Amino acid sequence: MGEAMQAVLTTAHGGLEVLEFRDDYPRPIPGDGEVLIRIAACAVNFHDLFTRRGMPGVKIALPVVVGSDIAGTVDGVGPGASAHWLGKRVLVDPVFREGDRFGMIGETVDGGRAEFVAVHESMLLEIPPNVTSEQAAALPLAYGTAYRMLITRGGLQRGERLMVLGASGGVGVACVQIARMVGAEVLAFASSKPKLERLNALGAAHVANYLERPFLDTVKEIYGKPRINGGGGVDVAVNFSGGDTLPATQRCVKLDGRILCCGATAGFDLALDARYWWTFEHRMIGSNGWEKTDLAKLLDLVASGELAPAIDSVLPLRQTAQAEALLENRQVVGKVLIKP
């Protein structure tokens, strides 16, 4: 470690009070094959909140500087790293995919809530000239997960009907935008009028409050009840809430439709109605995060103007606790970013 820098540490498991701003945290020195990035923007994700609260069965060494969605400029290179990265604006693919490391930057090692971070050059993607650092930092966890689930794994097509449960969160908003981009018709569910209005503005053809009315009733009203001989219902359902929502989701999906899952925020021990699974010949497709190739495609889509990541707010590093509170209280639609 070398000079000091500003950083926000997650010091223990608990509430917002465990977040500690420091202006004397050691600046990292890049090791073999690594580069030093001067951070321009870092997104806040629910994963950061889960790290702070503690995840069942997952042990994280604390304190740690969280933050996995990182964009910035390469400020230095370590031994063996290519000097061509110097001065380049880069996005970090935070997942360790090689060697004996596991997890992600900002989880198992220090991440983006700081002025600098050191990462291996294999994790870098160059940011195109007409993509801002804020747009790039909004991509990996939310848009990478949504793109892989909908497009790479799910094969969503123009003209298909897609329903998204919990559409106002980071992944949900990304699903709405990506689906609209490819020409699918989106039915988005959320829990408040302001969120529904925002989702409508982002391209959802239909929006509905799942707290006021069961989502299955809404699907039946808009698209009709799925029929065993075809017709009715949606082509594709996105359900990453889990809990007890899967049987009702199955009843929303048409013959030969797909149910996509990238997580289970409300619980992973799911009930499944096998009758709908086999009689409607549903395909249930899992998707685990993203690959670096998915992020490269997303950067190209932003550069071409086909996709504009939804950014709700940008806060300074010192206001990291407020940024987490916005997510915790579900007061946002789109990404919250932190700028050192």
Residue range 210-217: mean pLDDT, rounded: 97
Domain 141-286 is of which CATH architecture? Alpha-Beta Complex (3.90)
Round to whole Å and give the CA distance between 260 and 283: 8
What is the per-residue pLDDT across 42-93, written as a single tens digit (0 to 9) for each?
999 999 998 999 877 778 889 999 999 999 999 999 999 999 999 999 999 9
DSSP 27: P
The residue with tokens 């500690």 is 20
Q: For position 64, what pLDDT does the model report? A: 96
CB atoms within 10 A of CB 327: 19
Each residue of 138-147: pLDDT tens digit?
999 999 999 9
Given pLDDT bands bounded at 50, 70 and 90, which one contains residue 2? Answer: low
Q: How confident is the model at residue 340 (pLDDT cuts 50, 70, 90)?
A: very high
Residue 114 and residue 25: Cα distance in Å, rounded? 9
Strand partners, 36: 76, 118
- Residues 31, 29: Cα–Cα separation, whole Å: 6
Model confidence over 19-55: pLDDT tens digits?
A: 999 999 999 999 999 999 999 999 999 999 989 998 7
Between CA 276 and CA 267 the distance in angstroms is 21
Segment 247-291, tens digit of pLDDT: 999 999 999 999 999 999 888 999 999 999 999 999 999 999 999
- CATH architecture group of domain 4-138+310-339: Alpha-Beta Complex (3.90)
HSE, side-chain direction, 13 A CA sphere, residue 17 = 2
CA neighbor of 236 nearest in space, from 155, 170, 181, 174: 155
Orientation of helix 320-328 relative to helix 46-53, angle to 10°: 100
- Mean pLDDT value across the chain: 96
User: Does 197 have pLDDT greater than 60?
Assistant: yes
Instruction: With CA atoms as reference, report the closest residue to 37 among 83, 81, 86.
Output: 86
Q: How many CB atoms lie within 10 A of CB 312?
A: 18
Q: Which pLDDT score is estimated for 140?
A: 98
pLDDT at 330 over 90: no
- pLDDT score, position 56: 73
**Half-sphere exposure in the Cβ direction for 78 (13 Å, CA):** 17
Strand partners for 43:
69, 337
What is the spatial distance between Cα 323 and Cα 316, in angstroms, rounded to a whole number?
9
150: Cα separation from own chain's centroid: 13
In this predicted structure, the answer to whether residue 135 has a pLDDT above a threshold of 90 is yes
Average pLDDT, integer, range 222-236: 96
Bigger pLDDT: 19 or 334? 19
8 A C-beta contact, residue 280 and residue 254: yes
pLDDT tier, 229 (very low <50, low <70, confident <90, very high otherwise): very high
Cis link prior to 63 (omega < 30° from 0)? yes
pLDDT > 90: what percent of the chain? 91
Is the model's pLDDT at 102 over the cut of 90? no
Segments of the chain assigned to CATH 3.90.180.10: 4-138+310-339, 141-286
DSSP state of 128: P
Q: Does residue 202 carry a pLDDT above 60?
A: yes
pLDDT tens, position by position, 282-315: 999 999 999 999 999 999 999 999 999 999 999 9
Q: Is the pLDDT of residue 1 over 60?
A: no
Q: Is the Cβ–Cβ distance between 17 and 106 less than 8 Å?
A: no
